[in-house]
Amino acid sequence: MEIVRIPALSDNYIWLVHEPVSGETMVVDPAESAPVLAEAERRGWRIAQIWNTHWHPDHTGGNAAIKAATGARVTGPAAEAARIPTLDRTVGEGDTVRLGAIAATILEVPAHTAGHIAYHFASEHALFIGDTLFAMGCGRLFEGTAAQMHANMNRLSTLPPDTRVYCAHEYTLANGRFAVTAEPDNAAIADRLAAVAAARAAGEATVPTTIALERDTNPFMRAPSAEALAALRLAKDNFRG
């Protein structure tokens, strides 16, 4: 697969994914349509599918215009179908979706929203995770619980360590600044924060990340219990560092 990062809004990333054998292209969580359509046109790719991880407007805002321009079929979480009116197909835990010859499995990862899903391409070692797992962080608990998010973190941590994690926001610098306060004795976090700060100062993106990197430097993935994760999430929500 060819995966292209498209910056959108203030800190969103949209992922344009192309399977070269079939020539099929899809877009994950289009916050808006214009940059997606422009990038696809520039590359000569025709968008056939849109995959949503959850209903939030900064993940679905481009659905209608892209669908109108390309005829793309929209797939998203069955549990949030009422909140994504452009959906053509609803999916849940264990379902399979395909991009050309390559299959992805649906993982239900609720907590940020009640029906949040992820798309896992096991053969490609790639995970499109939306707002559940971030580089050095996790999503806010808008519609779910710390217990759900802790279960998500445990589940994701069991994926192969070289799995590339394509999250939907550039939050790494802020997450890293919190992470060093959560684990002040973790040298790996300090080293990563320095690298992230340098990358951002140079205008570079810091995602995708990997499961291995998150295991070592993400306090939320390393939380030993749901109660510990809840305390971390509350502290992060109030962090102004």
Per the annotation, the verdict on 120 as an active-site residue is no
Query: Which residues form the domain of 80?
Result: 1-91
Report the domain count for the chain.
2
Q: Is 59 a catalytic residue?
A: yes
Of the three residues 91, 116, 134, the one that is the final residue of a domain is 91
Residues 165 and 156: their CA atoms lie apart, in Å, by 10
Beta pairing class for 73-77 and 89-91:
parallel
Distance CA 160, CA 139 (A): 21
The CATH number covering residue 110 comes to 3.60.15.10
From 56, 91, 126, the end of a domain falls on 91
Sheet arrangement for strand 117-121: 96-99, 102-108, 117-121, 126-130, 164-167, 209-210
Q: Is residue 151 part of a domain?
A: yes
Question: Is residue 54 included in any domain, yes or no?
Answer: yes
Catalytic residue at 88? no
Instruction: Indicate whether 30 belongs to any domain.
Output: yes
Residue among 29, 116, 120, 131 flagged as catalytic: 131
97 in a structural domain:
no
Question: Model confidence over 186-220: pLDDT tens digits?
Answer: 999 999 999 999 999 999 999 999 999 999 999 99
The model's pLDDT over 31-72, given as tens digits with 9 standing for 90+, comes to 999 999 999 999 999 999 999 999 999 999 999 999 999 999
Active-site annotation holds for 56: yes
Q: What's the confidence (pLDDT) of residue 127? A: 98
Catalytic residue among 18, 120, 150, 169: 169
Q: Give me the sign of the Cα torsion angle 148, 167, 37, 27.
A: negative
Catalytic: which of 58, 116, 120, 150? Answer: 58
